[in-house]
Structure 1
Amino acid sequence: MMQKAMLLALSMVFVFGALPMMGNAQDQPSLYGVIDFMKVKQGNEANYVDVEKTVWKPIHQERINQGEIVGWVLYGVRYAGADDEYNYVTVALFDDPAKLEHTFSVDVEKVHPGKDLDALFQRTMESRQLVRQNLIRRVDAVYPEGGPGEFKYIQVNYMKVKPGEGGAYVDNELTVWKPVHQELINAGTRAGWSLWQGVYPFGTNMPYDYVTVDYFADFSKLGAADTEAAFNKAHAGKDMDKLFAETMNSRSHVRAELWEVLDSVWKE
């Protein structure tokens, strides 16, 4: 019984990343991401991925069936080495902030009948280290006409907003860059774009306040975008240098990471 409780508690760790684009902010439901940042030792990658796919993916599918979450994604962080803080990420997506209070009510024995829950728990703990967990909230998103774009990779851009510039930063993303990303989507070099705000943890010592996510259908689309052409199309006749300066004055682009989708389950 103790081990079952521990297994249930373990499953409550999630947040971030791959999100199906569900339209523009004004006509889309709330979306929150719980992201778990994982460190997996070299040589144990295949075992960890198998744990996520065979043990936890069915559990997350049951959570979707029960209406707890709307999606779950397993990412591998590309170009990560032994000295990096994390090399895998899982993200669970919630469409209602009220559901974040009680995030797990799945009967694991029902999902894995006859399985040794102690062994499942032990295997999970030995497969990776949970480095940290974040909660984020989607501010806005755009996607291809007709529905969410299929994506295999996402570029995660961490943004640190300058003091007092939070409103200016969000306004800049929505009025300057969102139309540009729409043009990139129209050109077929993006599968979507979204803007997320950090909820927890927060504070002056956090390395980022917001995250933007660029979605790509495949590896060949990375670096294929003609951003200048998209910018000129979205803001014809406007001063590009001035708009770029407004962007730079509102935030710092802390870092960008490339995440590969390894597996996922979504609400149909």
Structure 2
Amino acid sequence: MKKLSITLIIVVFILSWAQAQEPRYLVIEFIKVETGQMYDFIEHKDFMQKVYQVAVNDKKITGWDFWSLQSGADSGEFQYITITYYKDPVSMMNGISDDDLVKYAMIAYPHLGDKQIRDLYGRSLLSRDLAQRSYMAEIATTKDNFKMSKGVLASFDLMKAVEGRFDEYEKAEREVFLPIHQKRINRGLMGSWSLLRTALPFGSEAKSTHLTINLYKDYLQFFNAQEFEDLESTAEQRAAEEKGLKSRDQKWVYLATLENLVR
């Protein structure tokens, strides 16, 4: 049954892959670090950045981000978000094995031996608690030339589509809300926007079914965007927005700053 479920997930993602232009596949991890482990985790973050750079060079992944949480539902729930980017759904589901990570670490740190690498990697894992991991596919995005760099601000909006209104919600995001975000981008009030669909966890008990990522170059742009009001929108458009909002439940919004990235 488990093997069949994974096969179905991969089929769904391959279908969405064929329908989208240059889609991205992301594994998003929400990480909690206890106060006493903070120093060890910072070492882990710096250690893993070089390891993931080797993984990018080997074309195992296409990128990696490390985000520091600024606000959210509960500051004690988790403090960091990492995103690992893959070229296709099969690579995403397979991920990077511990053996491959050790291999990449030995390339990144040639002065260290196998035992030292494994000990360092093992200790680094103990410094954090993986609160949640989500496998996602990008299914819609704005047209922009936004460049990712340290200090970029992101709003991660976790959504749960109303049961029975899954397609209606995605249609609303593409046809109603994407144009609104595109207007903000065209007016310099936003950097980029994308809609992601969750593969795992899935089912009626999943905390969310979708995620939107809103990118801003800094806090000034972020706050200006919050003040934006589309005075040109028609009554029909506003009604469509209201209908779209009812097709989903906005679970949580997390504001985070990009601290490290690998491409």
TM-score for both structures, normalised by structure 1: 0.80
Judged with a 3 Å threshold, the aligned counterparts in structure 2 of structure 1 residues 211 and 142 are, in CA distance, closer, same or farther, namely same
Match of 1:182 in 2: 182
Question: In 2, distance between residues paired with 1:83 and 1:121?
Answer: 27
Instruction: Name the structure with the higher helix share.
Output: 2
Q: Is 108-117 or 69-78 further displaced after alignment?
A: 108-117
The reply to whether residue 65 of structure 1 matches residue 66 of structure 2 is no
Contact 1:81 1:87 in 2 (8 A): no
Judged with a 3 Å threshold, the aligned counterparts in structure 2 of structure 1 residues 81 and 181 are, in CA distance, closer, same or farther, namely closer
Letter in 1 for 2:60: E
Q: Is 93-102 or 179-188 further displaced after alignment?
A: 93-102
Match of 1:15 in 2: none
Post-superposition offset of 1:74: 0.5
Match of 2:255 in 1: 258
**SS of equivalent residue, structure 1 residue 86:** coil
Judged with a 3 Å threshold, the aligned counterparts in structure 2 of structure 1 residues 191 and 149 are, in CA distance, closer, same or farther, namely farther
Judged with a 3 Å threshold, the aligned counterparts in structure 2 of structure 1 residues 111 and 149 are, in CA distance, closer, same or farther, namely closer
Contact 2:54 2:107 in 1 (8 A): no
Contact 1:143 1:191 in 2 (8 A): no
Letter in 1 for 2:21: Q
RMSD of equivalent CA atoms:
2.2
Question: In 1, distance between residues paired with 2:125 and 2:19?
Answer: 41
Post-superposition offset of 1:215: 0.3
Match of 1:171 in 2: 171
1:27-176 aligned at under 5 Å gives the runs 28-53=21-46, 55-79=47-71, 84-104=76-96, 105=100, 107=103, 108-115=105-112, 116-144=116-144, 147-150=145-148, 152-176=152-176
Question: In 1, distance between residues paired with 2:73 and 2:194?
Answer: 27
Deviations 1:164-189 (CA, angstroms, capped at 9, x unpaired): 11111111111111111111001111
Match of 2:9 in 1: none
1:172-211 aligned at under 5 Å gives the runs 172-211=172-211
Deviations 1:3-58 (CA, angstroms, capped at 9, x unpaired): xxxxxxxxxxxxxxxxxxxxxx96631211112221111254344223212x1111
Judged with a 3 Å threshold, the aligned counterparts in structure 2 of structure 1 residues 42 and 97 are, in CA distance, closer, same or farther, namely same
Contact 2:73 2:252 in 1 (8 A): no
Contact 2:160 2:251 in 1 (8 A): yes
Question: In 1, distance between residues paired with 2:72 and 2:44?
Answer: 20
Note the residue ranges of structure 1 that are not aligned, 5 or more in a row: 1-24
Post-superposition offset of 1:250: 0.9
Deviations 1:49-92 (CA, angstroms, capped at 9, x unpaired): 23212x11111111111111111000111136986221111110
Note the residue ranges of structure 2 that are not aligned, 5 or more in a row: 1-17
Contact 2:72 2:255 in 1 (8 A): no
Letter in 2 for 1:75: W
Post-superposition offset of 1:111: 2.1
TM-score for both structures, normalised by structure 2: 0.81
The number of equivalent residue pairs is 235
Question: In 2, distance between residues paired with 1:124 and 1:31?
Answer: 28
Letter in 2 for 1:148: F
**SS of equivalent residue, structure 1 residue 30:** coil
Percent identity for Structure 1 against Structure 2: 22
Question: In 1, distance between residues paired with 2:258 and 2:83?
Answer: 11
Deviations 1:208-246 (CA, angstroms, capped at 9, x unpaired): 1111111010122222124322xx45xx44434412321
Contact 2:73 2:254 in 1 (8 A): no
Deviations 1:82-109 (CA, angstroms, capped at 9, x unpaired): 8622111111001112213543335232
Post-superposition offset of 1:141: 0.8
Letter in 1 for 2:173: E
Letter in 2 for 1:253: Q
